[in-house]
A and B are shown apart, each in its own frame.
Chain A
Amino acid sequence: MAQLAQRQPTPAPPRTLQRRLRDAGGSSWLWIAPAIVLVAVYLVYPIFNTIWLSLEDASSTQFVGLKNYSAIFTNPNLLLVLRNNILWIVLGTALTVALGLLIAVLLDRVRIESVAKSAVFIPMAISFVGASVIWRFVYQYAAGGQPQIGLFDAILTGLGRQPQAWLINPSINNYALIAVYVWMWTGFCVVILSAALKSVPADIIEAARVDGANEFSVFFRIIVPVISPTIAVVATTMVINLLKIFDIVYVMTGGDFNTDVIALEYYQQAFTFNNFGLASALAVLLLIVIVPIMLYNIRRFRAQEAQR
């Protein structure tokens, strides 16, 4: 984001002007009060409350220490949930960022850039729920010999293979779900990365080509290093999204057939089984993973402010 914010058209105003302008006295609090009150009630207080709830039992009546946390790391079902979520984060991030980068580079060289970019970007406008319906239909399974109305099984049977139960077969269903996420979010990566590509100085690339560098070394030795801060931003955004992935799994499999993930397990523990202790511990686990990203954002923000 740092490098994106720099592209703001107007330079920062000189400090003296700012200082004179900014003296508003006590009334400034009135301007921020509604926002701050909401944030305090809906975000800050609940964070502390949830941390506390995670140390209590299912009905929040007795202090149990770290028992909920040890349950997460010993119960085989919950370990599977963790494994699935790691698979989501690793594959989801790698695929969206790699595909996003590849498509952005290709788009940079064609005349139909804006049309093609829209095609890849449109799924961003669709809800996870809408996308899940779209893909349930693509994955729709019918036994061999019956009419195949799902696109993938129609292709498989057309090639003379047996149809697959994409969402039920535990050896492929997680990948099938991750593919839906990749379909939705690659467009986001493309948009951001192609904006960054346009900021790579053309003369450096031209000079490298004149020196005889081929396209691959131009890409890996020049383009990737120059836009690596943007790649980091995109990748962290993906990690944050994937950590909390919920809707796709909720709508497509309901977490059955070994596809459960942390956010869905949280939802079920909290609102189906009323086990607030375990649910809160799962939420805290998400927060712990996110804290480094939070600190990284703060550092980047301060660095960016220092430049202003």
Chain B
Amino acid sequence: MTMTNNPINPQAVSAEKALANTPSELAAKPGARSLRERLMRRVNSGLITFIVVLIAFIWSVPTFGLLVTSFRPAALIQSSGWWSGLLPPWHFTLENYTQVVQAQGVGTAFLNSLIIAIPGTLLPVILASFAAYAFAWMKFPGRDWIFLAIVALLVVPIQMTLVPVLSLYTGLGLTGSYLGIWLAHTAYGMPFAIYLLRSFFGSLPADIFESAMIDGAGHFRIFTRLLLPLATPSLASLVIFQFMWVWNDLLVALIYLGGDPTKSPLTVTIADLVNSYGSNYQVLTAAAFLSMALPLVVFFSLQRYFVRGILAGSVKG
């Protein structure tokens, strides 16, 4: 590493000299240069570590402020910054949480989010696994063209579909029903799910399928007994991805649930709270943190799969 643009700190140089007296470096002539290099390296890596810590700190402060605020009494939230609440005497309370869960319908909204997100995750993953298996390991006319269409549909803006689908829903009486929103999330998640799973399934070695076929196993048996167990890590990535997407969705719920507050998920409920409560942060912070809790748990426990999913298919529309 030859950093030519960094100032050298003379004091650090002498300190470094005192420390670095391994015989080879003192004896050899290029030793002076390598000494300087080692010094630069240490100064630089210290500097870089400092910058990285600073970035991580800056990135975490807003969320941390929300968390701290959600545990402070309403009067204090309005009269002093959350950072002053970090110093003793502490006045933390769970009051904001009990208030939003009971009075503001956030408890119901949390359940609604689960009711929407669980089928909204499982349904597309199951249907996409069937399709991805066929696209990866079966041969049928039109297969490649259909798959190209799926690739094209990956990036279609959802806005292209809302008005026509809503008018279909109105005709069928699906507006404001959970079935309507499950099907919508399933369909919208489908191109990405198929795309991701096909690339995972297609990368499994062919000879294991081959020998299963020779042993007389049918496609369904191969799919359930062989492919699904092998593909569990990829399915996990997709499950996490789709779950986060559905859990965090605002637009689809806003439109297909037709504004029924008893069915609204957390995102819609919180957006309504922002509209009606503006700066009432004792309500907003607790509600927002409740909405983040589950994704954060999923994120921390399954980060590896999440990252894997992101790396494999970074083109979600």
A interface, CB within 8 angstroms of B: 1, 4-5, 8-10, 12-14, 17-29, 31-32, 34-36, 38-39, 41-47, 49-50, 53, 103, 106-107, 109-112, 115-116, 118-120, 122-130, 132-138, 140, 147-151, 154, 183, 186-188, 191-192, 195, 209, 212, 214-215, 233-234, 236-237, 240, 243-244, 246-247, 250-251, 254, 263, 266-267, 270-271, 276, 279-280, 282-284, 286-287, 290, 293-294, 297-298, 301-302, 308
Contact = CB atoms under 8 A, between A and B. Distances in A.
A109 B248 contact: no
B153 interface: yes
Nearest to A27: B219
A298 to B, nearest CB: 6
A127 B295 contact: yes
Interface string B1-35: 11111000000000000000000000000000000
> What are the 8 closest A-B residue pairs judged by CB atoms, nearest first?
A13-B206, A42-B187, A127-B248, A22-B139, A31-B134, A46-B161, A119-B56, A46-B164
A116 B52 contact: yes
Nearest to A17: B206
Contacts of B61: 151
Contacts of A243: 157
A38 B183 contact: yes
Contacts of B66: 133-134, 137
Nearest to A234: B314
15 contacts: A17-B210, A22-B137, A24-B140, A43-B191, A116-B56, A129-B250, A132-B274, A134-B62, A137-B66, A137-B281, A149-B81, A195-B311, A214-B4, A263-B159, A286-B159
B13 to A, nearest CB: 20
Contacts of B271: 129, 250-251
Contact of A130 (B52, B78, B128, B291): B291
Nearest to B45: A109
Given A31-B133, A34-B130, 15 more contacts: A8-B203, A18-B137, A103-B52, A103-B55, A116-B53, A126-B63, A133-B288, A134-B65, A214-B3, A233-B314, A240-B317, A247-B250, A250-B271, A251-B250, A293-B155
A14 B82 CA distance: 62
B81 A283 contact: no
A24 B139 contact: yes
Contacts of A150: 81
Contact of B151 (A25, A133, A298): A298
A53 B162 CA distance: 12
Interface string B139-155: 11001001011111111
B178 interface: no
A250 B271 CA distance: 8
Contact of B62 (A47, A151, A209): A151
Contacts of A103: 52, 55
Contacts of B56: 112, 115-116, 119-120
A34 B127 contact: yes
A263 B59 CA distance: 27
Interface size classification for chain B: 35 or more
Given A32-B135, A35-B131, A244-B158, A106 B315 contact: no
A13 B49 contact: no
B122 interface: no
B284 A137 contact: yes
Nearest to B131: A35
A24 B311 CA distance: 31
Contact of B49 (A22, A112, A154): A112
Contacts of B83: 151, 154
Nearest to A301: B151
Nearest to A243: B157
B255 A271 contact: yes
Contacts of A41: 165, 168, 187
Contact of A149 (B80, B128, B148, B183): B80
A20 to B, nearest CB: 7
A125 B298 contact: yes
A28 B187 contact: no
B292 A32 contact: no
A110 B54 CA distance: 13
B96 interface: no
A298 B127 contact: no
A188 B310 contact: yes
A284 B156 CA distance: 10
A138 B62 contact: yes
A120 B151 contact: no
Given A32-B134, A122-B63, A191-B310, A129 B248 contact: yes
